Structure formats: structure tokens, C-alpha cells
Structure 1
Amino acid sequence: MTSPDTGGDREKVVTKLTSTLRQDLKVRAALHGLDMQDAVEAGITAWRGLGSNPAAVDTAGAETYSTFLPVGLWEGFRDDCKDRGVSLTQGIAQAVSIWLEANPVPEVKRPAMVRRIVVCNQKGGVGKTAITAGLGEALAEDPAALVPVRVSKHFAALLEEDDRPEDPLALEDLPGLGQRVLLVDFDPQGHLTRQLGHELLPMGGDSLTNHMAGDSKGELSDLVVTVDEDRFGDRLHLLPACTDAFLLDVRIASVRAREAALERALRSVEADYDVVLIDCPPSLGISMDAALYFGRRRDNEDTGNSGALIVVQAEDSSADAYGLLTSQIEDMRSDLALDMDYLGLVVNHYDARRGYIATSSLQAWMDIKDPRVVGVVGDLKEQKEAVRAKRPLLAYAPRCEQSIAIRALAREISK
């Protein structure tokens, strides 16, 4: 069945396709940057060029499916199906299957050098842990699946409550980033570890602190656990915290080149990952120096590949804490001659309904151009619910506004 397309030289075609083939077609076409109709056209053209029928495809449960094809293509395809003795439903299923086989999932683009992202702010309660976890999840999502993303151009709309983007048309379905990610719980409070459903490492056993202090009891890789959710595959891992991290500053104070202690400890595992994310404690001590040193720009590393991601809130006390942290970063830049990049500011827990303080503070953050705001994440209930359920936010509520905003953040800092 066909009907003319008044918008161009295509006609509307109504046929049947199984839900599985339809979903695979939608995802694969998006992965290759194509419209579904173009993929169907290419599949039909390839099918018509075959010398014999391909293997039959299971079409049980096929449902009505419509698309637009060049005028005359469907008529010729229908005649070919009749000549070959196959139904239109079987023919279109074979054509789509041929296109899928010829266009596999593209390989994930991996960084030339492992990215090291230090999520920090010496002020507690700004949501560093939630941003660390969410960012790691967004980076690790299935590259063969589509996820909803809202891009950064919508940040400005968050300044006014009435202009907040609620229209689903503002969303874009994009493939997951498919990165191999290590989350490092560098905070002795262990919130990241608990939020992802794991236990803190026991006192008296091995820990990241021991490795940094030169007193390891085994391989660091033996401490790493998998965040077990289907949408992340085996790409999202966690190095849990241990409460012995409260003693970290004391234990590494006398260690040789103490600023490099974290880098030395993680050296044995970082090559297994595309991205290493450090969830820092609310501190400006020696451990923070070690985290910042780990995130410095290394020799031959591109600017912006690694660095500090600073989490703030739209209120006044965050500005004070921001000033203290950036002073520490600038001191390290100067004292140790480091190339230290700012990856940006994330304004977390934002809610325009809190009035002038929130909106004016957000505007003040946006007025800072270096580092610039790379993400605005709302203060919504899903994150609290995910913490209570001890599940990753992007697995617990993958389509909520917070998940969508965090995916935008992941892409913004991956440009």
C-alpha cells in the first residue's frame, strides 16, 4: 500500500515489520547518522540486487510499519517479491536484515590517552558523589542503544522557571558512549561505594590508602568491583572506599613525592580504562593535592582531555568554596609547574522555584567563562530514590530529567 508524499519525490509505504527488526533498524540507523527511510531504501536496493533469496527471517508478530521510499521503488520491490515467491512482509524483513548485517554497530571511539577526571569541591553537600556516579554511568552506557539527551544549548532556559525545557521534542536520541570507566571512591565517607550497592573495604585488609602509602597487601585490581547493570555491560567498575582513608593525609605525609601517590597507586589499572573518575573528599589537604596531580595534563596529552570538574550549587556558600579550591589549583600550577585544565563547572541541585538567589547565582556561574558551566542538573526526587535503592541513577530512572542532564554533561566534556 502506498500514498504520495507531498513533501518530495517519495511516497508513503505501509507494510509490516517485527518489533525487534524495527527497533534494531531505528538504533542502527541512528548510530550511522541516517534516517530510517534511507536505511530501508538501501536494504531494499541490496535485496533486489541479489541473485537468489537469502535465508528466511522469522516474521511472527509483525506489526504495521510505514516509511517513505523513492517513487517507484516499492512497486518494483513488490513485483520482485511476487516473482521470487515471497510475501512482502518476508521480503521487507530480509531487506532490513541485509542492511543490518552490512552496517554493524560502529566501533566506540576511545581516547588516545586515558582521561582522568577529578570531581571536586572542598564544600560538602554539593553532590560531588552523585555527579561522579552519574557521569561514569553516562560514559559507560551501551553504544548499541539509544538514550535521551538534552544538549547544552538549553542551559539558558533554566534561568527562568517558565522557560524550562519540558517539550520532549527538545530531546535527542543518541547512542550510548560505550566507554570503559573506573569510579574511584576517594572519600573516606564512602558514599559512592554505598550508593552503588557495595560495601566499604574492611579495615585491616588492602585498600587504596595502603597502595598510596607504599604498604599494599596485593594487587589493586583485586579490589575493583563491577557495577552490575545490563545497560553498562562490563564497562563500569568501582574501586570502593575504605574508612582508613581518614588517615590518608597522615600516612602519605612522609612518602616520597607524595603528590604523585595516587598516580603511582592507579598506574597498574588505569590502562584498562578509557576514563578514570575520582570522587574527591570535601577537603583541601594532601589527598586533594594527590588527586589534582593525578588529573594534571601529561606530556603529549591534549588540552581538556583530563582535569578538574568542579561541582557547585546555585547559592552563595558555593562561591566561597570555589574560590578556595581554585586557589589551591593555582598554587599547584605555580609551585609544581603543572599544566592543570579546568573541565568546567557543574551547577547541581538547581531549582528555579527557590527564587532570586538560585536564578541570580546560576547567572553568576554562567558569567564565568573559564571555567565555563558545562552542566546544570536539577534537584529532583529520582536521585534520592536511586540512592535509597542502592542503584545507579541511569539504571533506576534512565529517562528522568536528571539522567538526561547528566548525559548532556558527559557529551559536553567529551567534545
Structure 2
Amino acid sequence: MASPPAHDREKVVSKLPGWLRQELKIRAAQLGIEIQAAVEQGILHWSALASSPSSVDTAGADSFSTWLPPGQWDDFKATAATRQVSLTQGLAQAVQVWLEANPTPAVKRPDVPRRLIVCNQKGGVGKTAITAGVGEALAESSDSLYPVRISRHFAAALKQEEPAVRELPGIGLRVLLVDFDPQSHLTKQLGLEPLSMEGDSLTKHMAGEPVGKLADLIVPVESDRFGDRLYLLPSCNDAFLLDVKLAGVRAREAALERALASVEGDFDVVLVDCPPSLGLSMDAAVHYGRRRDGEAVGQSGVLIVVQAEDSSADAYDLLTTQIEDLRTDLALELDYLGIVVNHYDSRRGFIATSSLRAWMDIRDPKVVGLIGDLKEQKEAVRLKEPLLDYAPRCDQALGIRALAREIS
């Protein structure tokens, strides 16, 4: 794969085996450098060696082009001739030398588990899809590349402009999805079963009536894409009774935090899919997302999902009023992570486009994601599969990955 040309470089064409070219592409992306810079460094290091390193299997090598400083390729060819190796073998050795000198960087993990509270008092805006999608994007392997929409100028959607897309490494975090909604949409969408009302549940732990360990309720979301990094705490229908149970609990605002304290340390990120409610359970969720001592601003907080229509604006006002009351009454340091405009379709005309402009005009919190209303999400829900597994290159997947990075 050729990197973009530069005025002080010349294009060179050789061959590389596909597996080595892919490793080079991934490693360069992980380290945030251009492929051409990696090849240049590799050739410099290879040429400085006293002799050729071990041979590399170049079977099946095919065309590879890049851009190097003027004269470097001629010097490389002369060194390869002196060492009596082919240009293909010499280049493969140079790339291998660079890979060994630049190992895969470790995944950057937060010092304190991040808590993302996905909410809106209005139902049907797609909170569950956003919760699942962001969790999936955060858990994708850091050793693979995925297409990501990198444009942050969401207003371009109003002009139907195509945003830029890049292949970037997955984020590779350990993620816990918490289905905090008694309707169990998140649990069912991921192809798993809600917990039995006769057994243990998050509700019972929050109410001080645990049957066992909360960790025993957590299940993996099975997929090679997510490895062992994506887990779910399923919902239970007894969550319909949560507000009633919390009314008799001391310091009820901290009930969710107390319940999750025993498991959150096993994860880098905890995402809570909230019910469409403004009750005591919502208070507990918001309290859980507050900024803790020593935690950086914007690491945890509230992510609000809306649609580009008027009823979402009314629900947004009710939710933010409750959040501000909690901030004041409990002296919470609580951060807004942003607004996600979901199910957007400009073909719906003036209502959709004018509503999007209104959301974009809000500066605090700002719009951090714009997700289209397309068929792939609906199909994934019907098939009970994670969206990023079912359609990893669809437009919604690209937008979800961009959102995950925007709030990371």
C-alpha cells in the first residue's frame, strides 16, 4: 500500500508478501506514523547492520509501492547486491527489522474504570443500539484495522457530503455493558436471555437483597472480534420494581455504585443502558457516572441520545433539568460526554434538517455523534447479533467507531 506522496520523496515499486504488508500497515497505524516513514526507518536500520538478518518467507509476494527520500532506494539496491539478496528479500528483511524494533504498543487503560451513562427520558431514540455499538467499538481488537469515519464536521450531513474514512486499529478495552432497563432490550439484542425473577439480579443487589455474587451474573458476548473483552450484565424484569425498592434504601443514589463496586475493577469501561425514566433508578445511574476523586474531566459521565425531531428536545430538557438538580443537591462533579443524534435521515426534510441544526447549535454539551437511520442496525437486532459483527463496514458501524473515539 502506498503512502501519500511528498515533494521531497520519490516513488519506488517492489514486492512484499501480503502477511508482512498487513503487519506493517497495522503497526504503522498503531504507532500513528506513515507507512513510508516506517519503510524508510527499516531500510536505514537494515543497511546499518553488519550483515543480513535471517531470511523472511516471501512466497506469494506481490506489488508494493511507497515513497522514499531521493537516493535511498538506489543505496538500498547497492547494499542488497553486496549482500547477495534479492530486492524483495532485502525489503522484507528491512520491514521485519522495523517491526522488531517497534513492537505493538500496549493498550492504554484508564487508571479508574470509566463509567458511561447512556440515557434519555424518551423511549425509542436508540439508547440501546448506541450503548451496544459503543461498547463493541471500544472492545474491538487493537491488533486489527477497522474503517472509521474521521470527519467531526457533522454539519456536512446537511450538504450530503461524504466524510473521510480511515482504517484504524481497534481500541482494545475490556468493556462491561449493563442492561439497566427492565424491558431487557440490550440483553435480547445481543442474543442473550434476561435473568429469571426467581434468581439473583442487579435489582436485588441494589436493594440490599443479593442472592449470590454479582460477578456470577455477568456473561461474555461471544465473538472473535471482541475476544474476551466484551461482557454483559443482563437485565431482569424485577427492575420494574427498582424505584419502589430504592425508596426504602439508605443513600439510594449510590445504590448502583455499591452494587457494581465488586466487578467494575475487572473492566476498563462500564456502559449503563438506562431505562426511559426520570425516577430513582435514573438518579442512581447519574450518580454512578459522576467524576471521582483524581479522575480526569470527561472520562466518565452522561451520554445523551436524541433524534432530530421535536419530542426529543422536550425530553432532553426534562432530563437535563433532573441532572442539574442532582448536581446541585448532591454537589456532584458530573460531566456531559455529549449528545448523539441517532436515526438521522435528511430525506425526512425540514423537520430533520432543522432539528439537527438546533442540536448542533448547542455548545455544552456538544454533538459528538451522528448516526444514520439505516437497515443494518434493524437487521442486526432481528438476527440478535452485534452490529459490528453483522455489518462491520456499514455506514452505522463507521459512525459508531467515530463516536467511540470521540468520547474516549
TM-score range, shorter chain: over 0.9
Within the candidate set 378, 387, 392, 1:398 is matched to 392
- CA shift, 1:21, in A, is 0.7
The AA in structure 2 aligned to 1:206 is D
Tell me, which stretches of 5 or more residues in structure 2 are unaligned?
none
1:240 corresponds to 2:234: yes
- CA shift, 1:6, in A, is 9.7
Alignment of 1:101-120 (within 5 A): 101-120=100-119
Q: Distance in 1 between matches of 2:6 and 2:302?
A: 49
- CA shift, 1:66, in A, is 1.4
- CA shift, 1:180, in A, is 1.5
CA contact (8 A) 2:5 2:67 kept: no
Structure 1 equivalent of residue 175 of structure 2: 181
1:366 corresponds to 2:365: no
Q: Distance in 2 between matches of 1:22 and 1:9?
A: 24
- CA shift, 1:72, in A, is 2.5
Moved more, 53-62 or 6-15: 6-15
Structure 1 equivalent of residue 160 of structure 2: 164
Q: 1:111 to 1:165 in 2, by over 3 A?
A: farther
CA deviation digits over 1:349-381, x for unaligned, max 9? 010100111111111111112211111111001
Alignment of 1:335-354 (within 5 A): 335-354=329-348
Structure 1 equivalent of residue 38 of structure 2: 39
- CA shift, 1:222, in A, is 1.3
CA contact (8 A) 2:6 2:67 kept: no
Q: Distance in 1 between matches of 2:382 and 2:345?
A: 21
Structure 2 equivalent of residue 206 of structure 1: 200
Structure 1 equivalent of residue 189 of structure 2: 195
Q: Distance in 1 between matches of 2:342 and 2:8?
A: 48
SS in 2 for 1:232: coil
CA contact (8 A) 1:185 1:280 kept: yes
Alignment of 1:3-402 (within 5 A): 8-159=7-158, 163-166=159-162, 170-402=164-396
- CA shift, 1:250, in A, is 1.7
The AA in structure 2 aligned to 1:28 is R
Q: Distance in 2 between matches of 1:33 and 1:303?
A: 25
The AA in structure 2 aligned to 1:97 is Q
SS in 2 for 1:149: strand
CA deviation digits over 1:313-368, x for unaligned, max 9? 11111111111111211221222222222111111101010011111111111111
The AA in structure 2 aligned to 1:281 is P
Give me the identity figure in percent: 69
Q: Distance in 2 between matches of 1:105 and 1:6?
A: 26
Q: Distance in 1 between matches of 2:357 and 2:6?
A: 43
Q: Distance in 1 between matches of 2:108 and 2:203?
A: 33
Moved more, 259-268 or 199-208: 199-208
Q: Distance in 2 between matches of 1:79 and 1:281?
A: 68
CA deviation digits over 1:133-188, x for unaligned, max 9? 111111122222222222353201112xxx22336xx1122222222111100011
CA contact (8 A) 1:190 1:242 kept: yes
Q: Distance in 2 between matches of 1:73 and 1:370?
A: 51
Q: Distance in 2 between matches of 1:377 and 1:248?
A: 31
Q: 1:6 to 1:393 in 2, by over 3 A?
A: closer
SS in 2 for 1:230: coil
After superposition, the CA RMSD in angstroms is 1.7
What TM-score do the two structures reach when normalised by structure 1? 0.94
CA contact (8 A) 2:203 2:242 kept: yes
Q: 1:15 to 1:151 in 2, by over 3 A?
A: closer
Q: Distance in 1 between matches of 2:319 and 2:225?
A: 35
CA contact (8 A) 1:132 1:277 kept: yes
CA deviation digits over 1:226-277, x for unaligned, max 9? 1222222221111111111111112222111111110000001111111110
